[in-house]
């Protein structure tokens, strides 16, 4: 057993065996020790924290390490935060501020979700990054209550109505 706690870099382990006649054999083994989790980079830059998203969303960010092995992107509903679903396969190429994966949010339904990126190095060290998002694939409900269909109008007309959507942003009246 070798305790590599606190070690980083290139090392050689040597095993020397000697028999009763004094014959000896040495077996060297060169290896790298990586106990530096801070070297692992994981970041999601799109979608942004708290963003309202819809349809197919490109997940953009950073997944890298000096001894990079792989990364995965997953999502979970905030109502079931322990149930993670993969967004594609685990990938084995590092990414520098580029596409990590994509998510067709229409399959997940509307609601609050988390997106998580987990980067793993060859030593098994991991770093995760996540962002909460709101999925909204539902169109706003719109109703005009005045004037009514078929009314004959003149001069200035007050248009009245209602819009319902949990993520309502704006409205525009055109004629």
> What is the full per-residue pLDDT of the chain (175 aa) written as tens digits?
777 777 777 778 888 898 899 888 988 887 777 766 666 789 999 999 999 999 999 999 999 998 899 999 999 999 898 999 999 999 999 999 999 999 999 999 899 999 999 999 988 889 999 999 999 998 888 999 898 889 888 888 888 988 888 888 888 888 7
Q: What is the pLDDT of residue 36?
A: 66
Distance CA 8, CA 2 (A): 13
Q: Residue 58 has what pLDDT?
A: 97
> Residue 37: what pLDDT?
64
pLDDT of residue 94: 96
pTM over 0.75: no
CB 92 within 8 A of CB 70: yes
Mind listing the pLDDT tens digit for each residue in 35-76? 666 667 899 999 999 999 999 999 999 999 988 999 999 999
- Residue 148 DSSP label: P
């Amino acid at each position: 057993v070798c305790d590599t706690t606190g070690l980083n870099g290139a090392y050689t382990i040597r095993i020397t065996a000697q028999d009763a006649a004094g014959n000896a054999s040495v077996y060297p083994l060169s290896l790298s020790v990586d106990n530096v989790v801070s070297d692992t980079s994981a970041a999601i830059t799109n979608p942004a924290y708290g963003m309202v998203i819809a349809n197919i969303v490109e997940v953009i960010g950073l997944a890298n390490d000096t001894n990079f092995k792989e990364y995965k992107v997953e999502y979970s509903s905030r109502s079931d935060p322990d149930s993670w679903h993969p967004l594609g396969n685990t990938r084995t190429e590092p990414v520098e501020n580029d596409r990590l994966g994509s998510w067709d949010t229409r399959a997940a339904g509307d609601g609050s979700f988390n997106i998580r990126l987990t980067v793993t190095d060859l030593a098994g060290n991991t770093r995760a990054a996540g962002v909460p998002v709101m999925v909204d694939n539902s169109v706003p409900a719109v109703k005009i209550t005045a004037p009514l269909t078929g009314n004959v109008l003149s001069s200035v007309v007050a248009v009245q109505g209602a819009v319902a959507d949990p993520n309502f942003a704006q409205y525009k009246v055109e004629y």
